[in-house]
Amino acid sequence: MFCEYFEARVCRSCPLIREPYDLQVRNKERSIRRVLASLDRPTSRRTPAHPPAIKSRFEWLPTYRSPETGFRNKAKMVVSGSKKSIVLGLAPNEKHPTGIDLQSCPLYAPAIHAAFTPIRAWLQRLGARPYNIPTAKGEVKYVLVSANPAGDLMVRLVLRSKAALHRVEHTWSELQAELPNLRVFSVNIQPEHTTVIEGREEIILSSERYIPMPGIGTDLWLAPGAFFQTNTAASQALYAQAATWARKLQPETAWDLYCGVGGFAFALSSAGVAQVTGVEVVGPAIDGAKHAVTELASATATVPVEPSNKNDGTPNTPSAAPRPHFITADATKWAVNQTLMPPDLVVVNPPRRGLGPDLSSWLERSGIPHLIYSSCFPGTLVEDLRRMRSYQIRAAKLVDMFPHTSHVECVVLMSRAD
């Protein structure tokens, strides 16, 4: 695929973009198969291979293939240039001292592309100085734009301080007038001179606090500061696969650890799991998950009730899937300190660092029959699986979340060996 930024050597975020997409997928399939096959081998001369429970012979499901363009639902744009000539894209460097314009990146969703020009024009009218990295002066650091498939937008402006906040509060409605699909607008304050994009303080200026993202069984609600996979269709493929497995396993109870906005939790509920508990440490994500529960309850309550066929006058209640319960807590600390009976199924979707020894070792001891592990980094997936010797991999699926890169995302179903 052709990309003007890659060919000009100004952006290398997609190192495989010249490779045909079929070849990219085949290489990723070989890579993840090779990684999981390593479970059959001992880690050292003194460590024997794990028992047959963890082995590489299992069902490989068809790979989810992403669209090659337009799949990214979020853009993180450095704001550089000058007050009267704003640049949105990559940070300045020696060859490009005013920054690198990245507005035409082919990976962004159409609604995001359409938002860049109005955002840039509004920032120039705002008159706040872009943050200068070498001098640590200036106010406007980043613009973060998220979009759902319907084209609804969330725009977050990251500022160094509140010096320009008053101007933003009084003029952001101009941007909303140019972008009628702008539903959520907020200001994030990041005073630190660091590569960490977001600060702790979020000031929501719009009346709406969430944009809906597609899930399984219900919409998921994304708030400023909450994480959502950047490839919407690929995230749906992950959730749908978990729901398919849950229908076959028919568990009564389940936990969704590192649940985020509740994607897996709602997928499990839609598959008929009676009791689902989602656990996530990020407050805005749990706020969105709880909002989804409220929206689902409201939608169910407005379903017309058919007249009863009974003779006692009792109305028929509209059917509804079970609704998950969400808790704000550290997933590891919450799980290992539970005293109640463990669930029939646990879904884990950890960050790149994986579960770590505490949680993976606890899962090994827990007696939980089934585990679904959604991994964004196969290296830590294998490390965790080596600590869970009692589980047998039953099936795995590669989900190509990030085309044109070597990044591999996969979801694995495991059950305890008989």
Kindly indicate the confidence band of residue 306, based on its pLDDT and cuts at 50, 70 and 90.
very low
Torsion-angle region of 262 (φ positive above 0: left; ψ -120 to 50: alpha; else: beta): left
Token pair for 26? 């085949």
Q: Find out whether 144 and 76 touch, Cβ atoms under 8 Å.
A: yes
DSSP bridge partners of 100: 90
Q: How does pLDDT run across 335-389, given as a tens digit for each residue?
A: 999 988 999 999 999 999 999 999 999 999 999 999 999 999 999 999 999 999 9
Q: What pLDDT, on the 0 to 100 scale, is given for residue 128? A: 97
Q: How many CA atoms lie within 13 A of 358 on its CB side?
A: 9
Same fold, 1-71+231-301+320-418 and 74-209: no
Other Cβ atoms closer than 10 A to 105: 23
Q: What pLDDT, on the 0 to 100 scale, is given for residue 44? A: 53
CATH superfamily to which 1-71+231-301+320-418 belongs: Vaccinia Virus protein VP39 (3.40.50.150)
CA distances to 103, 125, 183 from 208, rounded to whole Å, are: 26, 24, 6
Q: How far apart are CA 369 and CA 363, in angstroms?
A: 10
Q: How far apart are CA 7 and CA 3, in angstroms?
A: 6
What are the residue boundaries of the structural domains of the chain, listed by start? Answer: 1-71+231-301+320-418, 74-209
Torsion-angle region of 89 (φ positive above 0: left; ψ -120 to 50: alpha; else: beta): left
Question: In whole numbers, what is the pLDDT of the chain averaged over residues?
Answer: 92
Positions marked active-site = 376
Determine the Cα angle at 153 with ends 150 and 159, to 5°: 165
Distance separating the N- and C-terminal Cα atoms of the chain? 48
Give the dihedral sign, CA 331/354/352/404: negative
Beta strands in 268-308 (DSSP E): 275-280
Kindly indicate the confidence band of residue 25, based on its pLDDT and cuts at 50, 70 and 90.
very high
Closest CA to 226 of 215, 211, 236: 211
Mapping DSSP to helix (H, G, I), strand (E, B) and coil, where does residue 383 land? helix
Residues making up the binding site for S-adenosyl-L-methionine: 229, 258, 280, 349
* Percentage of the chain lying above the pLDDT 90 cut: 87
Q: Find out whether 285 and 226 touch, Cβ atoms under 8 Å.
A: yes
* Percentage of the chain lying above the pLDDT 70 cut: 91
Q: How far apart are CA 373 and CA 381, in angstroms?
A: 8
Q: How does pLDDT run across 104-163, given as a tens digit for each residue?
A: 999 999 999 999 999 999 999 999 999 999 999 999 999 999 999 999 999 999 999 999
Overall CATH class of domain 74-209: mainly beta
Query: Does position 102 have pLDDT exceeding 90, yes or no?
Result: yes
